Amino acid sequence: MDKPHFTRDDVEVLEECREYDGFFKIDRLTLRHRRFAGDWSPALNRELFLRRAAVGVLLYDPQLDAVALVEQFRIGALHTENPWLLELVAGLIDSDETPEAVARREAIEEAGCEIADMEPVLNYFSSPGGSNEFFYLFCGRCSLRNAGGIFGLPEEGEDIRVHILPADEAFQRVAAGELCNAHTIIALQWLQLHRQRLRESWR
């Protein structure tokens, strides 16, 4: 497949204004862009949901061959049968933090685990049709032998329960459609491909 032949220079922002300015932000843009036929699109009106870049880390213990997932209430799943989701340790990047530092900080805050080693998994836009959120995904080696419990920062309203699952059970849950968080599914499928290598190199 040919590489994309358009760049940011092929987009013209005609108007941009801030519609909402809270913890999250929403901008309204009027823009046009070049089309594959070679001409320009008509003016398009779009809303853009602005979020800081985010980090997720799959906590993996190669000795136990187990992973740690966290369960917490998620407002985005409010209108489903169960808005408490099982997912990765994750958090937003502050302006002076590296993605790796965020992964280590969130592992302690959300799961009480210290990461010994870490490998990058993927970097990607989470939902570019309407949001600028960019996600950095890692897999971190840590000891889960005594892990578990309830964590989170009270000042941020966090109430997080840690679950320790054998890796095979986590993979089975993905296959059965029991996990509905994209970052978690991506990380577990990556681990399924790289588990043997990690168990040998992290042992």
CA nearest neighbour of 59 among 110, 8, 22: 110
Contact call for residues 54 and 134 (beta carbons, < 8 A): yes
Count the helix, strand and coil residues of the chain and give each as a percent rounded to the nearest 5: 25, 40, 35
Contact call for residues 59 and 163 (beta carbons, < 8 A): no
Block residue for tokens 């108007």: 15
Amino acid identity of residue 64, one-letter, is L
Rounded CA separation 9/15 (Å): 16
Rounded CA separation 125/130 (Å): 10
The structure tokens listed for 59 are 């906590």
Catalytic residues: 156
